[in-house]
Amino acid sequence: MLERFANKHVLVTGAAAGVGQVAAIRFAKEGADVSILDFQSAETTRAEIEKLGRRCTVYRCDVRDEQAVNETVAQAADAFAGRIDVLINNAGFNGHYNLVKDMPLNEWSETLAINLTGTMLVTRAVLPRMIAAKRGAIVSTASNVARRGLPYRADYVCSKWALLGLTQTLALENASHNIRVNAVCPGPVEGDRIEDVMAHHAKVEGKSLADVRKAWEEAAPMNRFVKPDEVANAMLFLASDESSAMTGQALNVTGGFLMT
Ligand SMILES: NC(=O)c1ccc[n+]([C@@H]2O[C@H](COP(=O)([O-])OP(=O)(O)OC[C@H]3O[C@@H](n4cnc5c(N)ncnc54)[C@H](O)[C@@H]3O)[C@@H](O)[C@H]2O)c1
């Protein structure tokens, strides 16, 4: 087993479920101690990590809450003598399902607040610690829709395009501090969340769930959705020294339906 993260402290947001949960456990399998910031209970993730003999602390926190984010990041860092070696910005919300002409402002604002502003707030709180340590790696979970449009999902789409702008800007601002900042762009990921997303699309588009799934699978040359572990592979690579010459990049993990 590779131990790319031995003696590292990794902070993962949105690790109660889904991709973040799988990634947090994978970091622990490779030697990391993990802090989790999530607004849901992440006790299942914590138990899995502790079974591996690694430290794990769960902080119940909403990424939209500026003060709570600052306090949580300070507490998490203090438990490791001020260090956060890796930040995985993964907490995310699917958004709402409206055409722009019908979009209520509060729905738009909610999605941007979680996916974009929340990512900025957590990153802003972590950065001074990485700058002091003169090293760090940040990986944010964007999406295939950070590179294309998708009807009924403007709030989500725009939040994820903006994450790539934030990623490139952070990469430029922090390269001199030896901090690398990258993103992953997953295609549809097998799991509960995508079933819910497809059900919403089927409803607003007047299609069957089976037709939505078939169309989305066929959009990828590999003709399938991706697995959470396949997204975690890209996250761990971008967080590790194996990607030491990469910053400001966004890796597609889509079964091939995005090639730029
Ligand atoms: N599932 C997919 O098909 C897919 C595709 C592309 C990108 N993504 C992105 O991957 C990331 C993980 O998604 P997932 O599929 O594992 O979803 P998920 O819903 O299973 O997990 C999201 C996690 O984020 C947490 N979270 C949500 N809002 C939060 C908030 N305000 N504060 C703190 N925590 C919050 C949730 O509690 C949960 O643990 C998201 O950023 C999502 O946009 C998912």
The domains of the chain, with CATH numbers, are 9-189+227-253 (3.40.50.720), 191-225 (no CATH)
The reply to whether ligand 1 has any atom less than 6 angstroms from the CB of 95 is no
Task: Take atom 37 of ligand 1 and give the residue whose Cα is closest.
Answer: 40
On whether the CB atoms of residues 138 and 170 are closer than 8 A, the answer is yes
Q: Is 156 a catalytic residue?
A: yes
Ligand 1 pocket test, pick from 11, 12, 13, 19 with the greatest ligand atom count within 8 Å of Cβ, gives 19
- Largest pairwise CA distance in the chain: 54
CA 176 / ligand 1 centre spacing (Å): 31
pLDDT score, position 258: 87
Q: Are 64 and 41 in contact (CB under 8 A)?
A: no
Instruction: Quote the ligand 1 centre to 93 CA distance (angstroms).
Output: 6
pLDDT at 61: 98
Q: Which residues, 6+ apart, have CB-to-CB distance to 221 below 8 Å?
A: 255, 256, 257
SS (H, E, C) the chain: CCCCCCCCEEEEECCCCHHHHHHHHHHHHCCCEEEEEECCCCHHHHHHHHHCCCCEEEEECCCCCHHHHHHHHHHHHHCCCCCCCEEEECCCCCCCCECHHHCCHHHHHHHHHHHHHHHHHHHHHHHHHHHHHCCEEEEEECCHHHCCCCCCEHHHHHHHHHHHHHHHHHHHHHHHHCEEEEEEEECCECCHHHHHHHHHHHHHHCCCHHHHHHHHHHCCCCCCCECHHHHHHHHHHHHCHHHCCCCCCEEEECCCCCCC
For the beta carbon of residue 93, count every other beta carbon within 10 angstroms. 18
d(CA 257, CA 118): 28
For residue range 92-138, what is the model confidence (pLDDT) as tens digits?
Answer: 999 999 999 999 999 999 999 999 999 999 999 999 999 999 999 99
Q: What percent of the chain has pLDDT over 70?
A: 100
Task: Confirm whether pTM is higher than 0.85.
Answer: yes
Q: Which of 141, 160, 201, 229 to mutate to test the pocket of ligand 1 (most atoms within 8 A of CB)?
A: 141
pLDDT of residue 2: 75
Cβ-based burial of 219 (10 A; exposed 0-12, middle 13-18, buried ≥19): middle
The whole-number pLDDT of residue 1 equals 67
pLDDT for the residue numbered 24: 98
**Which atom in ligand 1 lies closest to the alpha carbon of residue 13?**
34
Encode pLDDT of 66-88 as tens digits: 999 999 999 999 999 999 999 99
Q: Atom 25 (ligand 1): residue with closest C-alpha?
A: 14
Q: What is the pLDDT of residue 102?
A: 97
pLDDT less than 70: residues of the chain: 1
141 Cα: distance to centroid of ligand 1 (angstroms): 9
